[in-house]
Structure 1
Amino acid sequence: MSEETAGPSDDPPVVLVDEDDVEVGVAPKLAAHRPPAPLHRAISVFLHDGAGRLLLQRRSDAKYHFAGLWANTACGHPAPGEDVEETARRRLAAELGAVAGPLRGVGTVVYEAADPVSGLAEHEFDHVLFGRLLGGVDPRPDEVAEVCWATPAEVSALVASRPSTVAPWLAIVLPLARRAISSPSGD
């Protein structure tokens, strides 16, 4: 069972943080997503193909919250003592069977979002990482319903025209990916 589809008996801890990303404790993952959700550390990863496109995933219908919505390449929560790059690589492998080249942090965001379907909520200090996909993907069906490649402009158009089909954090982290993909050091 994966981190994202874990049940109550398999509820990994997440790291609770303050507004400066300083650890203030830990909580079971599902408890950290019950309103009012405490601020906790998370990662969002965007992988690109070297041709200006970003890899998106549509979250599996088995996800515990925000199921079936389009999102960035991978997301997750660092375990206590785990750094954000380790988490990113772990989640890429677990969700997509994917391997990335060098990953670089491109910023952080703090956001809150409520899932009207599950009743759960997000309140995350999100570290956004960016890198290039090496090889292919082999999505796990309990994690990912489908994947697609899209330019940042196409992702922006999806967010604007069909917001009910995208995870709420996608619009928030997309500007960081747009800046990263257009930078000369692109990866």
Structure 2
Amino acid sequence: MTHDEHVVLVNARGEAVGTAAKTVVHGADTPLHLAFSCYVFDGEGRVLLTRRASHKRTWPGVWTNSCCGHPLPGEPLAEAVGRRLSHELGLKADDVELMLPGFAYRAVMRDGTVENEMCPVYRAVVSAEPSPNPEEVGDARWMPWKEFTDDVMCGLLAISPWCGEQVPLLAALGSDPYTWPTADPADLPPAARVPSSGT
């Protein structure tokens, strides 16, 4: 499926303006497109960190948040999160909730490859251990949330650029990730306001 997978292109207002093949969209002039990030927690206050597979096009071998991905055209973001959690980590989330609906970033790799995404951030809670897919994930480990945020914000932990920008925003929601206030889906970019297939 990955060879035919398309991402949703958006303008600066977050409105859909077309699609492009995921396999060709990332380069020196990457168009702005829709994505998501997810932070997975267990019942002990730990966050699941993953190291991107070494053959990934962007930021290979770099530690990052639990799961990232792109919704398919017409796919609700929360459902895309569930799909990628299953595909990348063999996990089924008990809850997938929106935390940062308006997050966006642009980052450039040393080789000039650009990542350019409107990337709402989700929290998920699981009750099982991950089973990483080696096509996507090189390694995975649990880390106490406070230790993780402290290390990231003090520069002690090398992580992906998007994760580095997201962590302070999530920490500002409160010290306990289980009590973070959920965001209103109406605040998502317009291209992401796709009705759930379950409604």
- TM tier, shorter chain? 0.7 to 0.9
8 Å contact from structure 1 (residues 43, 127) kept in 2? yes
Q: Secondary structure at the match of 1:161?
A: coil
Matched, 1:13 2:2: no
Matched, 1:37 2:4: no
Matches within 5 A, 1:68-107: 68-107=61-100
Aligned CA RMSD, in angstroms, stands at 2.2
Q: Secondary structure at the match of 1:103?
A: strand
* d(CA) in 1 for partners of 2:156, 2:177: 28
Residues 181 and 97 of structure 1: CA distance in aligned 2, closer, same or farther (over 3 Å): farther
* d(CA) in 2 for partners of 1:162, 1:132: 26
Matches within 5 A, 1:15-164: 15-107=8-100, 108-117=102-111, 119-159=112-152, 160-162=154-156
- Greater shift after overlay, 148-157 or 75-84? 148-157
- Greater shift after overlay, 143-152 or 87-96? 143-152
% same residue: 34
Shift of 1:30: 3.5
Shift of 1:36: 1.8
Q: Normalized against structure 2, the TM-score is what?
A: 0.80
* d(CA) in 2 for partners of 1:76, 1:112: 15
Residues 12 and 181 of structure 1: CA distance in aligned 2, closer, same or farther (over 3 Å): farther
Residues 184 and 69 of structure 1: CA distance in aligned 2, closer, same or farther (over 3 Å): closer
* d(CA) in 2 for partners of 1:154, 1:133: 20
Gaps of at least 5 residues in structure 1 are 4-9
Shift of 1:134: 2.6
* d(CA) in 2 for partners of 1:145, 1:184: 27
8 Å contact from structure 2 (residues 58, 115) kept in 1? no
* d(CA) in 2 for partners of 1:180, 1:55: 18
> What amino acid does structure 2 have at the position aligned with 1:139?
P
* d(CA) in 1 for partners of 2:128, 2:81: 17
Q: What whole-Å deviation, never above 9, does each CA across 1:43-81 have from its counterpart, x for those lacking one?
A: 101111132221110111121210100111100001101
- Report the equivalent of 1:168: 161
Q: Secondary structure at the match of 1:24?
A: strand
* d(CA) in 1 for partners of 2:178, 2:137: 31
Residues 21 and 58 of structure 1: CA distance in aligned 2, closer, same or farther (over 3 Å): same
Shift of 1:95: 0.7
8 Å contact from structure 1 (residues 59, 146) kept in 2? yes
Gaps of at least 5 residues in structure 2 are 183-199
Aligned residues: 178
* d(CA) in 2 for partners of 1:112, 1:62: 21
